[in-house]
Amino acid sequence: MSSPDADDHLKPWETVRRGLLMLVSSPGGAGKTSLSRRLVADFAGMRLSISATTRPPRPGEEEGREYFFKTREQFEAMIAAGELLEWAEVNGHLYGTPKAPVMAALEAGRDVMFDIDWQGARQVAESAPDDSVRIYILPPTWSDLSRRLHARAQDSEDVISQRLALGRREVTHWDEYDYVVVNKDFDSAYAELVHIYRAERMKPGRNPWLPPFVEGLLGETV
Ligand code: 5GP
């Protein structure tokens, strides 16, 4: 699929927008990271939330790109200082969303994409119900998920088994989400994600420019 032009969903007169929070969850290996990063790359109005974690970096991961890597002490200090919007323990490691960049993006009228587990998605959606959109990504088959985790070759056999077991528990929360996408093929799943994003952006409450626009329409003399 060709890339949609950045912000081609924004209309020229749209000067005020209320940012939305796109919360994307899936079992590890179902493709949520590639899908969400592609959406952020294609839409200039969207920022990616980079989480903090106590998990050690995987081969190829970079500080500040995939995560901000923290010790448990540093992470607990962030919790104590109220610096996290939400946090959760996943597979023995702590993961959390730094609050300040999300607030700055929203104040600038940007949307924010979160790659987040079901616990974090639930916390954010509860604190900002009108601004949150929850999307669950499912693999087409469980063996496909296992194949993808092996193909990544980032984790040991033990860690892959743990991640598959964790994935089974994670998937039981699929029905808490507003949308579900089955990632059978990347391009089709991505197209579905773009449809969801575009439709959600067009909701009247996310477009405070609409009332004055309609007022202007009605005030026009023809
Ligand atoms: P991984 O270790 O594979 O990068 O991530 C493990 C899980 O933690 C994934 O389900 C991922 O979505 C989730 N996760 C990543 N960042 C955050 C976060 O900031 N908060 C929460 N609650 N979960 C996160």
What does the CA dihedral 57, 113, 91, 80 come to, rounded to 10 degrees?
Answer: 90
Kindly state the tokens that stand for 27: 């079992």
| Terminal Cα-to-Cα distance of the chain (whole angstroms) | 42
CATH number at residue 173: 3.40.50.300
pLDDT at position 156 is 84
Number of domains the chain contains: 1
- Per-residue pLDDT for the chain (222 aa), expressed as one digit of tens each? 444 444 555 555 555 778 899 999 999 889 999 999 999 999 999 999 999 999 999 889 999 999 999 999 999 999 999 999 999 999 899 999 999 999 888 888 899 999 999 999 999 999 899 899 999 999 999 999 999 988 887 778 888 898 899 999 999 999 999 999 999 999 999 999 999 999 999 999 888 889 999 999 999 999
Q: Which residues line ligand 1 (CB under 6 A)?
A: 28, 51, 55, 86, 88, 90, 95-97, 115-117, 119-120
Give the per-residue pLDDT at 199.
97
191 in a structural domain:
yes
Cα(87)–Cα(123) distance, rounded to whole angstroms? 8
Let me know if residue 115 belongs to a domain.
yes
Task: Measure 175 CA to ligand 1 centroid, in angstroms.
Answer: 19
- Residue bearing the CA closest to ligand 1, atom 11: 116
H/E element, 96: strand 93-98
Residue 187 lies in a domain: yes
What is the C-alpha separation between 201 and 22, in angstroms, rounded?
11
Q: What is the pLDDT of residue 8?
A: 52
The residue whose CB lies within 8 Å of the most ligand 1 atoms, and thus the one to mutate among 79, 117, 119, 163, is: 117
Q: Which atom of ligand 1 is nearest to the CA of 97?
A: 19
Q: Check residue 3 and give its pLDDT.
A: 44
Q: Which domain holds residue 170?
A: 18-199
Tell me which amino acid residue 204 is. Answer: P
What are the tokens at 95? 């993961």
Nearest CA to ligand 1 atom 12: 116
Element (H, E) at 175: none
The ligand 1 atom at the shortest distance from the C-alpha of residue 170 is 10
Indicate the pTM of the whole model.
0.90
